[in-house]
Structure 1
Amino acid sequence: MSAAVRVFLVLLLAYFLSYFFRATNAVISPDLRRDLGLTSAELGLMTSLFYLTFALVQLPLGGLLDRFGPRFVHPTLMLLGAVGALVFASAQSFAALSLGRALLGVGFAAALMGALKAFSLWFPSSRYASVSGLYVALGASGAIAASSPLAWLKEQIGWRGVFEWGALVIVLVALTVALGVQNTPKGTPLPQSKPQEGAGVIWKSGVFWRIGALNFVLGGGFLAWQTLWGGDFLYKARGMGGLEVGALLFAFSLAAVLGYLLSGALADRLGLSRVLLAASLGFALGPLLLALWPQMPLPLLYLVYLLMGFTGAFNILSLAQARLSFPTALTGRAVTAINFLGFIGVFLLQWGLGVALAWGYSTALLLWSGLLFLALLGYLPLVRERPL
């Protein structure tokens, strides 16, 4: 096994856990409502805290990864995630649940960004989109594990048991990352940015804001739906049971894995910005259809969930586009800045949809659809000017 492949596989273990823990609340939300009496607004806010803390850590994380590399930065954060899992497992109040969820977000903040920084040094730039897409596709199987398998597991050991055992697994994987990952190939130093090449170059870029706005509503909305509201919609608007919900979320996540697998190859072949635009248009049809026809027949509902899962996964291309739009020395800061906007989007959309549910799911979904189409209009000039 080559050193590059070993780095890829070890980091993949951590990303699998990141996806699993971010997605658990979609399946255990009825248990949390029952055991702790949470309202929709509280459930949305508590779940979204994973993404708020995740996003806030992105701001210093990019500089830390550019300076020190992912080998120790990533597992140090993961240990905080293990503490968060234990706090969540023992929580008896909304506040304790929120603290545990927030710490989990901190713990996995480098799971993707650390890997993307490593890949920029271990793999050639021509393979960056494909390697990144493969990484996210395989890691997204954590969301599959958090669908039907989690629905079965929580019936065996309870949702608290899932998080107690999960904390131990997080610690073991953190140690594996620290011992099994090298920042760069042997003899290759970490590239350092010049004084004038700071984060300001990124945040002042119009290209950055067009990519970031799309990632805010596409990547943010995709995860908000996959990890909470996609399940809650089925429970509340469709009156489904846990195993039925798990099956639809399984289909969504399986389609997402396929999307991640194909996104890089299609981008390399057809042009990154064109593929991202087309996928975003396809994804935007999902919430629009659910808003206008919430009681559609079950086969069509499966098709909509498959469509949203497959096309939503193409949000990973926004990170690859950021990587290709800025110098290598700024890779960490460029991708974490785009990721910051995406996860702020998850936080605000997950919380905001919970608030908007006071007017029903149709209204909330129509608002989200409107934001998606506005972001697509803003992104369109990149397809015309920069067909990466």
Structure 2
Amino acid sequence: MPNRASVFLIFTTAYFLSYFYRSANAVIAPDLAQELGLNASQLGLMTSLFFAAFAAVQLPLGLGLDRLGPRLVTPTLMLAGAAGSLLFATAQSFGVLALGRALLGVGMAGILMGALKAFSHWFTPRQYPLTSGLLIGLGSAGALLAATPLAWLNDTIGWRMVFVGGAALIVLAAAAIVLGTRNTPPDVIWPGRTADLRALRVILADVRFWRMALLVFFTNGILLAFQGLWAGPYLTDLYAADAWMRGQVLLFLSVGVTIGFLLSGWLSTRIGLVNLVIMGSAVFIGTQLVLALQPPLIVVTFVSTLFGISGGLTIMLLAQPRFVFPMTMTGQATTAVNLFAIGGAALVQWWMGLVIDLFPATSGHYPPAAYQTALFGAALGTTLALLFYLPMRRTAH
């Protein structure tokens, strides 16, 4: 019989896989570029397709979660992800690689949102921020696997075999959700059959939604764009870092993200969710500015950790709709905010590639000015979004 512990553990394990896949390209990007002849724009576009596909399914996903529940919707999507992992593993061209990456985005799209929908029924309002933060924090340890361990696996068995094994794990996790969870506790009746698109119109007409959505577009978008792709080329081009050194710095960054996620729920109950988001966003902006200045590598390692922690704290923006909108709208409200979070990752990854490509490469390496321009632009966008979010202090949890 499913209980709170089993629901939490199963969804957290599935989210671990999701986070691994969204972060993996940062380590293997140089190998992909060399083996398949990809330039910076192609790398950025291909990697961003995970997030573009992820974002594209968010609105129908929200309606599906509100009507049918995560026990059915989430594992169904995950099967598409398993197919994408196999396709990625066998790709011999940019087009096939991109299609596999997009299918992975579709497959992973329902895991976090399905978990948050399930948690909104299984846990009390006071427990919800804490369990949501723990879910995201523990699940994000998948990014740790996508750092030094992935670099070792890449050197040992190659990235193709890694993605074949990942496909099998996705299928096992999907089966665990079907067999080991329920949409609600046994004594709660599932209310979702009445959900419809009218709720979405109410959500989109509320300015509070846009304050959350635009800030998470930049904070989550930049965090995932840098962690999931551009940190690797940044280290290679500016510091001549090899795969092992890239993996080490990315490990610190990923540890920082995990710490931020784990602390986010606990801190939100202590200082307030909105105050936490504002504090995290401000520090996050500062770290982007420091990274843009090309400090010594040891400073980059420290600042990357702080970049991860502060960016991770802002993930509570995904839990905030639970306190702004009625329970019957939580699926659509949360996925609508997440649309901007993941859409931000897709667009920022691609945009950074376009900006970097504006600067001529020398012997395959882009100059510091390319990354400085991209990071300064990212910091400016985050600052403007944070200023727009500040009035939430008067109205939100």
| TM-score range normalised by the length of the shorter chain | over 0.9
1:93 matched to which residue of 2? Answer: 93
1:350-386 CA-partner distances (Å, limit 9, x unpaired): 0000000023111111111110111011011112x12
Deviation at 1:308, TM superposition (A): 0.5
d(CA) in 1 for partners of 2:302, 2:283: 12
d(CA) in 1 for partners of 2:197, 2:98: 40
Find out whether 1:18 has 2:24 as its counterpart. Answer: no
Find out whether 1:381 has 2:382 as its counterpart. Answer: no
1:213 matched to which residue of 2? Answer: 214
Find out whether 1:47 has 2:47 as its counterpart. Answer: yes
Amino acid at match of 1:304: V
Structural mapping, 1:251-262, within 5 Å: 251-262=252-263
1:311-362 CA-partner distances (Å, limit 9, x unpaired): 1001221011111100011010010000001111011000000000023111
Give structure 2 stretches of 5+ with no counterpart. Answer: 360-369
8 Å CA contact 1:66–1:190 kept in 2: the answer is: no
1:172-230 CA-partner distances (Å, limit 9, x unpaired): 11111111111110031222457795111111110000110000000111111111011
Deviation at 1:146, TM superposition (A): 0.4
| Aligned CA distance change for structure 1 residues 196 and 183 (closer, same or farther; 3 Å) | closer
| Aligned CA distance change for structure 1 residues 196 and 217 (closer, same or farther; 3 Å) | closer
Amino acid at match of 2:189: P
8 Å CA contact 1:120–1:128 kept in 2: the answer is: yes
d(CA) in 1 for partners of 2:149, 2:284: 26
Structural mapping, 1:1-388, within 5 Å: 3-192=3-192, 198-291=199-292, 293-294=293-294, 296-357=295-356, 358-359=358-359, 360-383=370-393, 385-388=394-397
Please report the RMSD computed on the Cα atoms of aligned residues, expressed in angstroms: 1.3
d(CA) in 2 for partners of 1:40, 1:27: 14
d(CA) in 2 for partners of 1:252, 1:147: 9
Question: Which stretch shifts more, 193-202 or 64-73?
Answer: 193-202
d(CA) in 1 for partners of 2:66, 2:197: 15
Amino acid at match of 1:363: T
Amino acid at match of 1:336: T
8 Å CA contact 1:273–1:386 kept in 2: the answer is: no
Amino acid at match of 2:320: Q
d(CA) in 1 for partners of 2:148, 2:229: 14
Deviation at 1:119, TM superposition (A): 0.2
8 Å CA contact 1:271–1:387 kept in 2: the answer is: no
Deviation at 1:242, TM superposition (A): 0.5
d(CA) in 1 for partners of 2:21, 2:340: 20
| Aligned CA distance change for structure 1 residues 277 and 68 (closer, same or farther; 3 Å) | same
| Aligned CA distance change for structure 1 residues 196 and 258 (closer, same or farther; 3 Å) | closer
d(CA) in 1 for partners of 2:94, 2:278: 39
Identity over aligned pairs, percent? 47
8 Å CA contact 1:133–1:263 kept in 2: the answer is: yes
| Aligned CA distance change for structure 1 residues 195 and 159 (closer, same or farther; 3 Å) | closer
d(CA) in 2 for partners of 1:303, 1:386: 35
Amino acid at match of 1:19: Y
8 Å CA contact 2:66–2:195 kept in 1: the answer is: no
Amino acid at match of 2:20: F
2:362 matched to which residue of 1? Answer: none
2:367 matched to which residue of 1? Answer: none
8 Å CA contact 1:58–1:337 kept in 2: the answer is: yes
How many residues are matched?
Answer: 385
**Structure 1 segments of 4+ aligned residues over 6 angstroms from their partners:** none
Deviation at 1:26, TM superposition (A): 0.2
Residue aligned with 2:240, SS: coil
d(CA) in 1 for partners of 2:336, 2:259: 26
1:42-97 CA-partner distances (Å, limit 9, x unpaired): 00000000000000110100010011110111111111001000110010111000
8 Å CA contact 2:63–2:196 kept in 1: the answer is: no
d(CA) in 2 for partners of 1:30, 1:149: 16
Give structure 1 stretches of 5+ with no counterpart. Answer: none
d(CA) in 2 for partners of 1:265, 1:172: 31
Amino acid at match of 1:378: F
Deviation at 1:31, TM superposition (A): 0.6
d(CA) in 1 for partners of 2:381, 2:195: 37
1:264-321 CA-partner distances (Å, limit 9, x unpaired): 1111111111110010000011221122x21x12221112101110010012210111
d(CA) in 1 for partners of 2:187, 2:288: 50
